[in-house]
Structure 1
Amino acid sequence: MNTTPASTSSTPATVAQLEEEGDVAADYLEGLLDIADIDGDLALDVRSGRAYVTVENDDAASLRLLSNPDTVQALQELTRIAVQTKTGRFSRLILDIGGSRDARQQQLEKLVDRAIERIEDGASQASLPAMSSYERKLVHDIVSERGFVSESYGEGSDRHTVISRG
Structure 2
Amino acid sequence: MTESPVSDDRTPATVAQLEEEGDIAADYIEGLLDIADIEGDLELDVRQGRAYVSVESDDATLRVLSDPDTVQALQELTRLAVQSKTGRFSRVILDVGGSRDARQVELTALVDRAIARLDEGASQASLPSMSSYERKLVHDIVADRGLVSESYGEGADRHTVIRRA
Aligned to 1:47: 47
Residue 160 of structure 1 and its aligned partner are, at CA, apart by: 0.3
Q: Structure 2: which 5+ runs fail to align? A: 1-6
Change (3 A) 1:9 1:132: farther
Distance in 2 of aligned mates of 1:133 and 1:62: 28
Aligned to 1:102: 101
> Normalization by structure 1: what TM-score?
0.93
SS in 2 for 1:65: helix
Aligned to 2:160: 161
Aligned to 1:14: 14
Residue 52 of structure 1 and its aligned partner are, at CA, apart by: 0.1
Residue 132 of structure 1 and its aligned partner are, at CA, apart by: 0.5
Aligned to 2:67: 68
Paired residues for 1:79-94 under 5 Å: 79-94=78-93
Aligned to 1:3: none
> Normalization by structure 2: what TM-score?
0.94
Aligned to 1:28: 28
Aligned to 2:115: 116
Amino acid at match of 1:41: D
Distance in 1 of aligned mates of 2:85 and 2:34: 20
Residue 119 of structure 1 and its aligned partner are, at CA, apart by: 0.3
Residue 90 of structure 1 and its aligned partner are, at CA, apart by: 0.5
4+ long deviations beyond 2 Å: 7-10
Distance in 2 of aligned mates of 1:57 and 1:90: 29
Identity percentage over the alignment? 80
Q: Structure 1: which 5+ runs fail to align? A: 1-6
